[in-house]
Amino acid sequence: MNEESQERAGRLVSGSEDAVVVLDNERRLVAASPYAAQLLGNAHLGTRIGEEVVAAEDEFLVLYLDSLPELSAYQELRAGFTAAVSHELRTPLARLLVLLENATLPGESIDTVVDQARAEVQQARELIDDVLFLGELETGRQVVSLGRTIAKPVIDEIVGELSERADRAQVTLVERVEEEIELPLRPRMLRVVVENLVTNAIRYAGPGTTCTVELADAGAGPELVVSDDGKGVAAADVPRLFERFYRADQARSSRGTGLGLAIVKHVVNAAGGTVDATSEPGQGLTIRARFPRS
């Protein structure tokens, strides 16, 4: 750790009112905001901060030195992200404006217009929620891996909650989850991953298809696989599925926020795992998340 990096980290957190700590790749303390220093008992720089320490206080935000962006790169990312969010929000807002204008036309059903307007407002709300959540993940405000979670009860619950939605989309949900497998995720983060993967299949697999949720010990570590036998994705689109706002199916681009798979990738990577997608047109989509063994 060089002096310049330590000074840069110190400047980043010095003005924060939150409990922010910056650690190096060996979890040694590089910098701490004033409130974090108070919670840590004024721990000296270089002190190793164990996961149990930050887990004891829900208020801690943990950043890692090697993940702190250079200012110019951060500014570029921020500008691009802001532009993308602005573009995505314009779509539901433009449709909402058209609906409100049409409501004044003779013979227009007010009840129908209200229902459609409510759907557009809900989509905008979901987009804003996902944008804020992804931002919290990237700044460390939402901690991904504090402890481990037995996955089956959480997955059972999610599949049950989404079954009615799947029925309306004519998608059959199948669950093949081994008992007692633990994943290095908080329960809420596991829920985020599974909900986004299953919801993605329900939205895009198509009527008469099956979505299968599997969790098994693959030897190197547990693997969570969500697959469907729907229409699939073109080979050129597969590498881009985890990009923010990217939708392979442009004809249905109004459905979903375009952030679900980006959130999945961020959570899995933050837990030390990897995630990838495989697909061929007409042969469905398979998304596989691999987690390290404890």
The C-alpha atoms of residue 170 and residue 160 are separated, in whole angstroms, by 15
| Average pLDDT of the residues of the chain | 76
Last residue of a domain, one of 139, 172, 198: 139
62 plus 77 within the same structural domain: no
What pLDDT sits at residue 119? 72
Higher pLDDT, 86 or 224: 224
Six-digit token string for 129 = 């929620």
132 within a domain of the structure (yes/no):
yes
Instruction: Answer with the one of 139, 166, 187 that is the final residue of a domain.
Output: 139
pLDDT of residue 211: 96
pLDDT of 188 > 60? The answer is yes
pLDDT at res. 256: 54
- Both 98 and 18 in one domain: the answer is no
β-pairing verdict for 209-217 and 222-228: antiparallel
User: Which of 288, 285, 262, 263 shows the shortest CA–CA distance to 274?
Assistant: 288
The model's pTM: 0.56
One DSSP character per residue, 187-240 reads HHHHHHHHHHHHHHHHHHS-TTEEEEEEEEE-SSSEEEEEEE-SS---TTTGGG
Contact indicator for 137, 270 with CB cutoff of 8 Å: yes
Q: Report yes or no on 36 lying in a domain.
A: yes
Specify whether the CB–CB gap between 162 and 192 falls below 8 A.
no
pLDDT band with cut points at 50, 70 and 90 for residue 167: very high
How much is the pLDDT for 238? 84
Q: Are residues 165 and 249 in the same domain?
A: yes
List the CATH number of the domain containing 97. Answer: 1.10.287.130
Number of structural domains in the chain? 3
What pLDDT, on a 0 to 100 scale, did the predictor assign at position 254? 42
Shared domain for 62 and 96, answered yes or no, is no
Same domain, 14 and 75: no
* Residue 246 in domain: yes
| Residue 224 and residue 215 in contact, taking contact as beta carbons nearer than 8 Å | yes
* Residues 242 and 214 occupy one common structural domain: yes
Residue 22 domain-assigned (yes or no): yes
Cα distance between residue 33 and residue 4, in whole Å: 18
Instruction: Give dist(CA 291, CA 294) in Å, integer.
Output: 9
> Residue 144 falls within a domain, yes or no?
no
Q: Are residues 120 and 158 in the same domain?
A: no
Q: Is 161 within the bounds of a domain?
A: yes
Closest among 246, 238, 211 to 225, alpha carbons compared: 211
Residue with tokens 């547990």: 222
Same domain, 161 and 246: yes
- My answer on whether 135 and 224 are in the same domain is no
Q: Summarize pLDDT for 68-112 with one digit per residue, the tens.
A: 555 444 444 454 455 555 555 666 677 777 777 777 777 777 777
Instruction: Tell which of 120, 139, 158 closes a domain.
Output: 139
Identify whether residues 104 and 120 lie together within a single domain.
Answer: yes
Asked whether residue 22 falls in the same domain as residue 135, the answer is no
178 within a domain of the structure (yes/no): yes
Better pLDDT: 253 or 183: 183
pLDDT at 252: 41
Q: Are residues 154 and 278 in the same domain?
A: yes
Print the domain residue range for 208: 149-290
In sequence order, what are the beta bridge partners of 171? 209
Task: Establish if 56 belongs to a structural domain.
Answer: yes
pLDDT at 60 over 80: no
111-120, 140-149, 266-275: the lowest-pLDDT one: 140-149
Q: What is the pLDDT of residues 6-16, one digit of tens each?
A: 777 777 677 66
User: Could you tell me the CATH number of the domain that includes residue 261?
Assistant: 3.30.565.10
**Confidence band for 152, pLDDT divided at 50, 70 and 90:** very high
Across 49-62, average pLDDT: 62
